[in-house]
Structure 1
Amino acid sequence: MPVGRSRLAKGVAAFSVASLTAVALSATPAAAAPSTDVLLNEVYGGGGNSGATWTNDFIELANRGDQPVDLTGWSVQYHSRSATGTWQVTPLTGEIAPGQLYLIAQAQGNGGTQPLPDADVTGTIPMGGGDGTVALVSSTTALTCTASDCAGQADIVDLVGYGSAAIREGSAATGASNTQSVQRTETADSDDNAADFAAAAPTPKAANSGGEPAPECPAQPGDVRIRDIQGDAWLTPLKGDTVTDVPGVVTAVRTDGTRGFWIQDTEPDTDPATSEAVFVYTGSAPVTVRPGDAVMVTAEVTDYYQLSGGEQFPHTANLSLTELTDPVVAVCSTGNPLPEAEQITGDLIPDVYAPDAPTGNVEDLGRLDPTRSTMEFWEAREGMRVVVTDTRVVGPGNEYGEIYLTVKPDEYASERGGTVNTGYANTPTGRITVNPVDGEVPLANVGDVLSGATSGPVDYILYGGYSIAATEIGGHVDNGLSRQTATPHSADQLAVATYNVENLSPKNPADKFAELAAGIVTNLASPDIVALEEIQDNTGSTNDGVVAADQTLDLLVEAIVAAGGPAYEWRQIDPADGMDGGQPGGNIRVAFLFNPERVEFVDRSGGDATTPVAVSADSDGTAALSVSPGRIAPGDTAWDDSRKPLAGEFRFNGEKVIVVANHFNSKGGDQNADGRYQPPNRVTETQRIAQAAAVNAFVDDVLAVDPHAAVVVAGDINDYQFSPAVETLTGGDAPVLIDLITTLPETEQYTYVFNGISQVLDHILVSPALAGAEYQVVHVNAEFSDQVSDHDPQVVRLTFGPQCTETVTGRHVGPLRITEGTLCLDDAQQVGPITVGPGAGLVVTGGSVTGPIRTTGAALVEISGARVTGAAMITGTTGAVLLDGNRVTGSVMITGNSGGVTVSDNTFTGVASCSGNDPEPGNAGTPNEWNGVAFGQCRGL
């Protein structure tokens, strides 16, 4: 899944239910609630209790929309904290106007000193002061649900559980008491009560109780202008001050989410470091101004930090937004022209993304230099109107109301129109997020264009960094991006794929299974083996102790057959309940699909959630697993709260193949690349490095038994091709695995698109014996606005053993010259030189060669178990080079080979030189004996 991000779609209620014991039960996500903009805004159950100010309990609603809503026939309902009992009902009447509040008074206690303001409706329900559940319901019929079945109640519009409430959305809101209510922090609904509500002193406000008269426009503006509020640095110099009569023209209004409006000074100064605009946050109060209104604002100045769920300010990596809060707004005139939007082009934006911050925090820097870094460029324009024109899409339009564009289309450009991640220091500078104020973005794919103007104030958002809060969106030009299909594998090739199917369970709609199946059959060409990630148990995210996933896998296999694919069989190991991370209750795991008509799974009993797989020698000298399938080091702390890798032993056309399916821990928790800490701290990397070391050690064990073993390590590694974790996995300076994605051009190295950056999270790695394999990433999801998973699958096609076009046995005297095909010497005695030309192959098994060996541009060179007397020069090989178990007398030169070089268990007498080989040569864990001098890349082998 995507890293560092977790948001539910708007309008979908997701409930969870807990008993009053320590066991928490996650409920099924509900279907979409009735279409409405009315939400529960504040809940207070301490009225009339000891220490309370207010005499009554109350419930407050808010209309976040722009149309009145008739509440006749609706109700608010209350349930005690337990999962048993009945709901109490208060019917509602009348309507709630846009941007207004609606107050429902409930039972009066014996205490309190102040009566509520006039209520719109009065009920008699005695609510719990510290615990309970309130539901807004589009009928007056009492609810009957008391546990996870509430998720199926289509008439529940909104719900908040507080304290130790059994029924709640996500986690319960905290802090309710006799002196504090729980209040919605923004007029948005993430379906997590703990995130959406905070405890504060109760503030009941009746929607129909009138209000203060609109303030009159002052004759003159105050002494403070917006540029004084913004200052010339990252933080406002006026934090906590109340500023009076600040002038500006309203440029944009946001009525959903973080409610408020932007104002911009029409008389700017000439200082490029000071912004001339600011966001005015209105909170739950309605936004009554419109673009073009000239206003004067009196408000408190603050630097606001957006926080992820459970995050606290001192620890957030996010940058702040300077805002005006608790505003008093005087409208002086309407219909004024908006300040001209600044045209943003690629040549204006610095080519360095983040400034060098000696403390690690850019907010500690002094004056902004908008010409020094991209971040400073946008910070100096915070809140100001900007416009980009004819911009290419680098991140598809998504359900969160975001789309990603670039004003530097040639910067790190991918083959298909995106922007690729080439290194930690190479954050793209031309990328910009667009989050329209109305939340509507075109369903555009990577490579499409938004033609014409996209404009709005400069904003900063939690998951996308600097953005344009667009009031105008360019026209969508579809550039026809197509979903790719893999090259079909031949009869003598073994095709192994990996696919992250994104939290797959029987709770997913049938369409998802059908689309995944079509992708496996059509786009992946029905691979022989598929390593699957994110397979959930049979009840999905319901936290009920179920760990089996047979129904999930059977449904996928049935869908594949229906799509015309093979009748795959599957293997997996059920995890211990709640021990492998992922979505709570889902018991996520990896699994294998395999086509029994093409490949045999070698079952070895005994594998379970806690038994580690071991490696030993089989009767034929190949590596054998102690259990198959088996988990790699499941007791290692590297796998705490993370998916354990699964090893399986397969046979194909008589060849043994060991496949490892992986899903390393996610990047969730890393500091983001758009935040105040630069460079960002990758806190989750430590665990992935430990996980990579565990899998690498397993591969070492396999190759120690059989240096020629065919090993495929596949899955969602959750890290980049240049990361320390992947370097550890391959073996670093002594590589035992080849990361196949690095064999592609840099412009094609990506499997995932996050925040407008095409990047690598998924990998297929192979042992040296499989070097030169055919490999493809199949782009079917990540670049598209409609995607069945957020990851792209990939596939490798393996060909085993050389296809000898000529075989020499016995004694041969005279030169051998190979210009095409593959010459095999099988325990032969060759006397005379051997020359191999471009595209040809040489395989020497046993026997002896007396005379020089020279290969130039060969497709394959394998020399094993032979005695070689004479110089050996191996140059420019495009496929695998293997020298194993030989006795070589004479100089050796191995240069410029690109298909992977393994030099293992040889005895060399003479000078050896290795250079220009990419990847670097390895010894598969079996060092060589050198009776001479080894130079360059040969050193250490």
Structure 2
Amino acid sequence: MSTRLATARVLLAPASAAALLLSLVAVPPAAAQESPPAVVVSQVYGGGGNSGALYTHDFVELFHSGSLPVSLDGWSVQYASAAGSTWLVTPLSGSLAPGQHFLVRQAAGAGGSQPLPEPDATGSTAMAAGSGKVALVATTTPLTGTCPAGAAVDFVGYGSGASCFEGSGPAPTLSNPVAAVRLDGGCRDTDDNPADFGTANPPTPRNTATPATPCDGGDPGEPPVTVTCPTSPVPGFDVSTTETYPAHRDLTATAAGATVTGLAVAVNPVPAEGTIAVIDVVPAPGPGGTATGTLAISDDVTAGSYQATVTATATGGEEGTCTAAIEVLPLVPVGAAQGAIADGQTDFTSPLLGQRVAVRAVVTQLTREGNGNRGFFLQERADRTDGDPRSSDGSFVFNGDFTTLRTEAEGPAREQVGNDWPVTVGDEIVLRGQVGQFFGMTQFSGSSSFVWEVTDTGLDIEDTVAVAEIDPPDDAGDSLRYHRRQLGMQLAVPAGSLVVGGRDVFAGTDAEVWAIRGDHPVATRPDPYARRVFRDVHPLDNQPQTGFDDGNGYRFVLGSFGVKGTTGDPDAVLAPAKTFDTITATNRGGVYLSFGKYTVNVVDQLALDTGGPDPAGNAPVPAADRERELSIATYNVENLYDFRDSPSSGCDFAGNPGCFADGESVTPPFDFVPGSDAEHQARLQRMAQQIRLDLHSPDILLAQETEAQDVCRVSPQWTPETGPGLGADRLDCDLTNPGAGNTGTDGRPDSLHELALVIAEQGGPAYDVAADLDSGDLRGITTGYLYRTDRVVLPAADPAHPVLGSDPQVDYPGTPLPFNADVSNPKSLNAALPDDVAETCAGSGPTACDGLNVFSRPAQVAQFRVWRAGIGTSTWTDLYLVDNHLSSGPDNRVRQRTEQAVYNARIADALLAAEPDARILVGGDLNVFPRPDDPYPPGTPIPGIGVGPSDQLRQLYESPLTNLHDALLAGAPAATYSFGFQGQAQTLDHLWTSPSLRAVVVDVHSAKINVDWPADAAGQPPGYGRFGVSDHDPQVVRLAATPTFPAVRALIDHLLATGDLSTPAARTVLALLATAERLQDRGLTTPADTVLAAAVVALQAFARFGLVTPEAAAGLSAEIGLLRSR
């Protein structure tokens, strides 16, 4: 035993080890002093109860290597994680005689098959299996810091991650079945952890009842017989082989002054099958010579961990030993690693999770991701599976950015292919590695897996492994189990399969396409527009009569990792499939789990028949009759960001640091911003075309998800004619000065304003933008309005108005935010969540909240006047619009979204209380389904809240407002959806109307211009022109605007007030109108028309005499003409 420094160990952090060693050279050695009590940590084990562990508990073993008894009263064993500074204390008591061990039992795990011997002390510390720090301390005071120098009697840092240790480095990295053990029976103590500790597999825990093995008080010196056991690069083992593979390793032994005559081995535990023996022993040729032998492991040894103690005997009776930890890794069916999935099972955790195993399988497919990561699928030969249809015969190997996999040093593959095996489709290999799960995906990782043997090459995949046609059941739960039983296996996508959603694209080029089998009853419906998947409660669901039923498990999704792997191109993307396309060629691919979706990553590019029904032809939006109608649209424009770096935002341009407020953050990468101005300009052109050609230039458009940036004004050089040439320069922007100092602000969101200009450049009507930028969220998206300046006026807000004024009468229990008092049109409204709601905001899922206000993107109320014809000279319709973009995720933020609906209902209440006949439309992206649909069907648990339905829009349904979804469903059920999610059509975008507005609704439509079309892929032109520019379909309502007698009388009052109509002329016309109205009410339409014609003649006469302006006479005559019977 080495002489210690006075009372404590020299502990070294990795960065200081070299410097301290140099300093020790320069200091003269101190005189030898009496050693402190010679108790050391002799064994450390943190894998107890883990997968593959023998023992159920972690433990620390102590050993008394000195010559006098020692009391442990008041001492402690303390533990900290590898890089940690928090020390967990286990008090000790009792005494130790020389050579006696002391066992400290710590926390238990869920596994292990054998309890520890009776402990001498018990703690509850859960120790890490691989790396950590253990200190023996002469007090019970917790240590401090990551490396508490000078405070420990003994100290062991184990594993490569340990931040503190004795000597030159930490003791070996351990694992679930492997302990660190002090060498020379606990007597070696050089104050250097890597020199003092080896490993034991299995561990050998000893307590005070174990026979004492005292040291001689000095250095052990050279043993009389030296035996050398084999070593292995496999951590924790000296010999590692694979089940069914024999192993032979060399042994040597020498003795100074004696001749080694024999070698023998004792194995613990004794294998149930097969033998571990020493064979081919050749005695030493004479004194000091070397004897040789072979440690032989037969090919039928039962898989497991063994400890072989090899004893060499010399003439004169001298003996020496060495110990070899032996691993016989189990060779298991892939199905054993995946696990058999029983009917009704919902926990798909691998029964071998965390265990190292070997599997034999064929490489069936390469994969690649858009970020460059590689992988490959393995599947067993069809004649070598476990024969259990409930378990998968395939698996996935994640290989990072590597195209090769390391070979195992002790396996045949090292001689077959060298150090690295190039991943090759058609090779059959024996793979050794740890069974892992990544977000539910059972897989192996190339970083911890090795090729043991290449057993075959050049195999034809479809001739060698089973490739079944994909055929998931209708029930969603059964479908999950179906896909889980195929995880990692190759499935064939049959020709004739039908695409049921436009291609989705994520992170630039990672894409997916949802489809159903072509022979499914849904795919063979008579109405081609009904050949798609609707949510359960939709009347065109596969089981419409049963409401919430099967969850539509028959849909499946195709991914792009296989096409990328086949081509070697990380930017390869699936073909731009649209809803109703037909897959014309059978394809196959491995089943992969990601983000809760089981994806078939097809090997080849999709072959598509694109000649199916045109999605845009599904109940298209009719143009409004501008003489008698007006139209309003709601449109989520999906991240309409420009390519400008706003000085007021930290998260709207590549290279920005992020946006941070109130504990929330938006950090890079900002995948919601365009990659170039050309990309932004192209989106503007396409969206403008949609608004003109598909929405027919609505009078007002409620926009959601436009950028809340306001640093630009319209350039003086811009006109509709010069705009196309100006491009981005159509706006003059201040990209330097943030906040109130910015010189480019005009109160309009720049991207929405630019869209209005592009519409005009394309020959569309002139639009202006109205917005209150207080509706923006942290990320920088907001709601806003486009309105036609040829027909629509935005009145100034009245300070006394019950909503737009300084004292909004919105009856809501939360405290209003300060900007609620702004006098503004439009106007953002928001409030703090009530305390009883805010207190429940927690974590993720249904109880999550986007901050502690009602809205993260406040509701935006606007008042508009829509003139039927000329502004100021025709009848009008006054409207209140409430534009919303509620919190996302129908099954998340349930309480907060419920409050958002409540607040909208209270806004409507406040308007109707002041104006009972107010024409109100509450709309936008509400991010939840209309009744009776619900993210939580009746009886379904809502974590943290209760049971379904969540009925998040209940307060709107119980208000005087009417959801136009029902009218849309009645008129065009196959077109009643606004969003697609995982292959299902669903409605997130809503239009709610007050009674007076509902009375003039002509119809409502959903423009099928985005959801069913392929999303854009980075670096590729749009697949179908203007279609697919957003992920939502706009909703459009047409409203009757035909003049009424009250409306014409109101126009006369307006003309009187403006001086365009004299009082005598007004009296005459009003008298004639009253007569005509009475006649019409009595059904006398012909006499009524005659009177109305007389009123027009009178106006013409008044105009000649200057009693009415020509413009007013023409406008009023037109309105009166429309009062005539039709």
* Larger CA Rg, structure 1 vs 2: 2
CA contact (8 A) 1:645 1:660 kept: yes
Corresponding residue for 2:600? Answer: 468
| Cα deviation code 1:626-677 (max 9, x no counterpart) | 742222335556745611111111223333211111111111xx7xxxxxxx
Q: Distance in 2 between matches of 1:231 and 1:566?
A: 63
Q: Distance in 2 between matches of 1:529 and 1:665?
A: 24
Aligned: 1:529 with 2:700: yes
Counting only pairs closer than 5 Å after superposition, residues 551-700 of structure 1 correspond to structure 2 as: 551-575=750-774, 580-581=776-777, 583=779, 586=780, 588-604=781-797, 613-614=808-809, 627-635=824-832, 639-640=853-854, 642-652=856-866, 653-667=875-889, 682-700=891-909
Q: Distance in 2 between matches of 1:664 and 1:504?
A: 17
| Cα deviation code 1:50-85 (max 9, x no counterpart) | 4799x9xxxxxxxxxxxxxxxxxxxxxxxxxxxxxx
- After TM superposition, the score normalised by the length of structure 1 is 0.53
Corresponding residue for 1:224? Answer: 332
Match of 2:589 among 456, 460, 464: 456
Determine helix, strand or coil for the equivalent of 1:430: coil
Q: Distance in 2 between matches of 1:52 and 1:271?
A: 58
The more displaced of 778-787 and 256-265 is 256-265
Q: Distance in 2 between matches of 1:550 and 1:605?
A: 23
Q: Distance in 2 between matches of 1:605 and 1:503?
A: 33
Match of 1:260 among 363, 367, 375: 375
Determine helix, strand or coil for the equivalent of 2:953: helix
CA contact (8 A) 1:729 1:737 kept: no
| Larger RCO (alpha carbons 8 Å, 6+ apart) | 1
Aligned: 1:405 with 2:476: no
How many angstroms does 1:451 deviate by?
Answer: 1.1
Q: 1:550 to 1:254 in 2, by over 3 A?
A: closer
Residue 263 of structure 1 aligns with an amino acid whose one-letter code is: L
CA contact (8 A) 1:421 1:757 kept: yes
Match of 1:300 among 434, 451, 470: 434
Determine helix, strand or coil for the equivalent of 2:682: helix
Aligned: 1:344 with 2:452: no
Corresponding residue for 1:393? Answer: 499
Q: 1:657 to 1:265 in 2, by over 3 A?
A: same
Q: 1:441 to 1:570 in 2, by over 3 A?
A: same
Q: Distance in 2 between matches of 1:542 and 1:420?
A: 49
Q: Distance in 1 between matches of 2:917 and 2:466?
A: 64
| Cα deviation code 1:802-823 (max 9, x no counterpart) | 879xxxxxxxxxxxxxxxxxxx
Q: 1:589 to 1:426 in 2, by over 3 A?
A: farther
Corresponding residue for 2:986? Answer: 759
Structure having the larger proportion of residues in helix: 2
| Cα deviation code 1:799-853 (max 9, x no counterpart) | 147879xxxxxxxxxxxxxxxxxxx99789999xx9xxxxxxxxxxxxxxxxxxx
| Cα deviation code 1:492-523 (max 9, x no counterpart) | 21111111112223315211211111111111
Match of 2:551 among 427, 434, 447: 427
Corresponding residue for 2:476? Answer: 353
| Cα deviation code 1:760-787 (max 9, x no counterpart) | 1111221222334311111111211142
Counting only pairs closer than 5 Å after superposition, residues 98-497 of structure 1 correspond to structure 2 as: 223-233=331-341, 234-244=348-358, 246-256=359-369, 258-266=373-381, 267-287=384-404, 288-302=422-436, 304-306=437-439, 319-323=440-444, 326-329=448-451, 330-338=453-461, 339-344=464-469, 348-354=471-477, 373-390=478-495, 391-397=497-503, 398=505, 399-407=509-517, 410-411=521-522, 415=529, 417-423=531-537, 426-436=550-560, 437-439=562-564, 440-462=573-595, 465-479=597-611, 481=614, 483=616, 486-491=621-626, 492-497=628-633
Residue 555 of structure 1 aligns with an amino acid whose one-letter code is: E
Q: 1:255 to 1:615 in 2, by over 3 A?
A: closer
How many angstroms does 1:248 deviate by?
Answer: 1.0
Q: Distance in 2 between matches of 1:626 and 1:581?
A: 21
Residue 351 of structure 2 aligns with an amino acid whose one-letter code is: P
How many angstroms does 1:738 deviate by?
Answer: 4.2
Corresponding residue for 2:321? Answer: none
CA contact (8 A) 1:396 1:444 kept: yes
Corresponding residue for 1:710? Answer: 919
How many angstroms does 1:611 deviate by?
Answer: 6.6
Aligned: 1:520 with 2:691: yes
How many angstroms does 1:324 deviate by?
Answer: 5.7
CA contact (8 A) 2:767 2:788 kept: yes
- After TM superposition, the score normalised by the length of structure 2 is 0.45
Determine helix, strand or coil for the equivalent of 1:415: helix
Q: 1:609 to 1:461 in 2, by over 3 A?
A: farther
CA contact (8 A) 1:612 1:634 kept: no
CA contact (8 A) 1:613 1:627 kept: no
Determine helix, strand or coil for the equivalent of 1:378: helix
Q: 1:520 to 1:736 in 2, by over 3 A?
A: closer
CA contact (8 A) 1:260 1:283 kept: yes
CA contact (8 A) 1:535 1:549 kept: no
Q: Distance in 2 between matches of 1:243 and 1:421?
A: 42
Q: Distance in 1 between matches of 2:558 and 2:738?
A: 40
Residue 794 of structure 1 aligns with an amino acid whose one-letter code is: Q
CA contact (8 A) 1:571 1:593 kept: yes
Counting only pairs closer than 5 Å after superposition, residues 845-924 of structure 1 correspond to structure 2 as: none
Q: 1:254 to 1:51 in 2, by over 3 A?
A: farther
Determine helix, strand or coil for the equivalent of 1:490: coil
Aligned: 1:781 with 2:905: no
Q: Distance in 1 between matches of 2:18 and 2:790?
A: 74
Q: Distance in 1 between matches of 2:534 and 2:18?
A: 58
CA contact (8 A) 1:247 1:294 kept: yes
| Cα deviation code 1:264-316 (max 9, x no counterpart) | 121223322111111223345433221110111111112x133xxxxxxxxxx
CA contact (8 A) 1:457 1:469 kept: yes
| Cα deviation code 1:78-116 (max 9, x no counterpart) | xxxxxxxxxxxxxxxxxxxxxxxxxxxxxxxxxxxxxxx
How many angstroms does 1:742 deviate by?
Answer: 4.0
Determine helix, strand or coil for the equivalent of 1:517: helix
Residue 764 of structure 2 aligns with an amino acid whose one-letter code is: G
Residue 486 of structure 1 aligns with an amino acid whose one-letter code is: V
The share of aligned pairs that are identical, in percent, is: 24
Structure having the larger proportion of residues in strand: 1
How many angstroms does 1:727 deviate by?
Answer: 3.5
Residue 387 of structure 1 aligns with an amino acid whose one-letter code is: A
How many angstroms does 1:48 deviate by?
Answer: 8.2
How many angstroms does 1:733 deviate by?
Answer: 8.1
Q: 1:514 to 1:613 in 2, by over 3 A?
A: farther
Corresponding residue for 2:74? Answer: none
Determine helix, strand or coil for the equivalent of 2:483: helix
CA contact (8 A) 1:350 1:374 kept: yes
Residue 504 of structure 1 aligns with an amino acid whose one-letter code is: L
Q: 1:643 to 1:328 in 2, by over 3 A?
A: same
Corresponding residue for 1:511? Answer: 682
Q: Distance in 2 between matches of 1:793 and 1:830?
A: 40
Q: Distance in 2 between matches of 1:384 and 1:543?
A: 57
Residue 502 of structure 2 aligns with an amino acid whose one-letter code is: P
Match of 2:635 among 499, 504, 511: 499
CA contact (8 A) 2:433 2:444 kept: no
Q: Distance in 2 between matches of 1:516 and 1:561?
A: 12
